[in-house]
């Protein structure tokens, strides 16, 4: 079944405290995956900027740059962070652009756990 993209408006209204009904479960799961990715991406980006003195490109190029800086590192933990960012980004693209996503609930739980691991790993660098 195809996702009704207008359900995101219901979620936006719910998050803004402007609604009387709850957003659909699918809209919430899609938003959770998207927000989990951005939690991991922004923390990784800021780590590079603040600790590695990297100049992060602006716009969409930043995503590949951050992922590749970690993924191409000879350090196993850094490389794993990059691979995890890649997986989270692919899932974020799916939920933000594809009309149908199978296994959405399982994907959400996995991606939230994966994001927690990325954030934890970043604190040990």
pLDDT along the chain (125 residues), means of 10: 89 86 91 97 96 92 98 98 98 98 97 97 97
79 inside domain: yes
4 in any annotated domain: no
C-alpha–C-alpha distance, residues 87 and 49, integer Å: 22
Q: Is 18 among the domain residues?
A: no
Helical segments of 1-125, H only? 7-15, 25-51, 61-71, 76-97, 104-124
- How many folded domains does the chain comprise? 1
Q: What predicted TM-score, i.e. pTM, was given to this entire model?
A: 0.92
The token duo for 70 is 């970690």
Q: Which residue has the tokens 């957003």?
A: 23
Residue 12 belongs to a domain: no
Map tokens 């207008």 to a residue: 6
The residue segments making up the domain with residue 66 are 25-124
């Amino acid at each position: 079944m195809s996702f009704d993209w207008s359900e995101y408006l219901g979620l936006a209204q719910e998050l803004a405290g402007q609604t009387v009904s709850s957003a659909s479960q699918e809209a919430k799961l899609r938003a959770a995956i998207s927000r989990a990715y951005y939690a991991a991406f922004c923390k990784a980006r800021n780590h590079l900027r603040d600790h590695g003195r990297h100049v992060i490109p602006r716009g969409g190029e930043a995503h590949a740059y951050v992922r590749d800086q970690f993924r191409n590192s000879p350090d196993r933990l850094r490389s794993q962070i990059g691979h995890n960012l890649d997986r989270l980004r692919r899932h974020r693209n799916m939920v933000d652009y594809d009309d149908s996503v199978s296994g959405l609930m399982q994907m959400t739980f996995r991606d939230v756990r994966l994001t927690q691991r990325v954030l934890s790993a970043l604190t040990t660098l």
